[in-house]
């Protein structure tokens, strides 16, 4: 299993050639993108043929995780493409679905506790703590397991979600004391203590990177464009 960080920023990208939250997961038999914020489409096109994409999975409906679905919709209209699965939390606030009712997109709504199989890659969905309905996503394939927290504040049950996984991609890169529905980088240590595995923090603020603060710890700060082997 491989994970490529297409975009890592939120709620908007850092100045320059940067993008908001989007992560390409590649397994032996599937290509799946988790979240699709601004700038994600061009990054994806640089990595794979969109015809080889099996699904896009959204953790939640906020703009910095969904906005490049709109240009993707144009791309799919103009390019031969198998019907693309768009997997989303079942939520009355899914405003963007009204813009994506197209033959080339198959919308699949999921609830907490649901699971899906995409060409042998298993997806499980877990409720996390954010301002709208948001799911953490567990991806299991090739004998490995990845857990992506989506956007979330700290909550005690998160430690249960990460136990036994091989890689955690965590929304835990904000400054300590950050006033918003995300975790400061200090919570990454609590996540690591629960799983004792590789923890990479993401969803960076455009004006803050905790690289210096986390130096000398087992926690890694995500690198935009980097591919991680799991």
Return the pLDDT at 77. 85
Q: Which pLDDT belongs to residue 40?
A: 98
> Residue 101 has what pLDDT?
64
What pLDDT was estimated at residue 104? 84
CA–CA distances in Å: residue 196 to residues 20, 125, 162, 170: 28, 22, 9, 14
What is the dihedral sign for C-alpha 62, 64, 69, 70? positive
The tens place of each residue's pLDDT in the chain, 230 residues long, gives: 999 999 999 999 999 999 999 999 999 999 999 999 999 999 999 999 999 999 999 999 999 999 999 999 889 888 867 789 999 999 876 666 777 667 788 889 999 999 999 999 999 999 999 999 999 999 999 999 999 999 999 999 999 999 999 999 999 999 999 989 999 999 999 999 999 999 999 999 999 999 999 999 999 999 999 999 99
Delineate the domains of the chain, giving CATH numbers in brackets.
2-223 (3.60.15.10)
Q: What pLDDT was estimated at residue 93? A: 67
d(CA 203, CA 220): 13
pLDDT attached to residue 94: 66
227-229 and 2-7 beta bridge pairing: antiparallel
**Nearest 10 degrees: CA dihedral of 195, 170, 132, 110?**
-70
Check residue 9 and give its pLDDT.
Answer: 98
């Amino acid at each position: 299993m491989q994970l490529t960080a297409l975009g890592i920023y939120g709620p908007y990208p850092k100045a320059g050639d940067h993008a908001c939250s989007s992560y390409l997961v590649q397994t032996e038999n599937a290509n799946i993108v988790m979240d699709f914020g601004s700038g994600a489409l061009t990054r994806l096109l640089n990595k794979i043929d969109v015809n080889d994409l099996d699904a896009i999975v959204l953790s939640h409906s906020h703009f910095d995780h969904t906005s490049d679905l709109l240009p993707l919709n144009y791309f799919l209209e103009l390019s031969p493409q198998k019907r693309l699965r768009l997997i989303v939390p079942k939520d009355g606030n899914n405003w963007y679905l009204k813009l994506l009712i197209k033959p080339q997109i198959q919308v699949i709504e999921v609830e907490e506790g649901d699971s899906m199989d995409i060409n042998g890659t298993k997806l499980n969905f877990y409720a996390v703590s954010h301002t709208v309905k948001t799911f953490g996503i567990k991806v299991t394939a090739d004998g490995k397991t990845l857990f992506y927290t989506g956007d979330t504040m700290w909550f005690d049950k998160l430690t249960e979600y990460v136990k036994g996984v091989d890689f955690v991609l965590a929304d835990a890169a904000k400054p300590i004391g950050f006033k918003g529905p995300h975790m400061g980088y200090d919570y990454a240590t609590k996540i690591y203590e629960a799983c004792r595995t590789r923890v990479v923090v993401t969803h960076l603020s455009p004006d803050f990177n905790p690289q210096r603060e986390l130096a000398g710890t087992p926690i890694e700060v995500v690198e935009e464009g980097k591919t991680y082997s799991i």
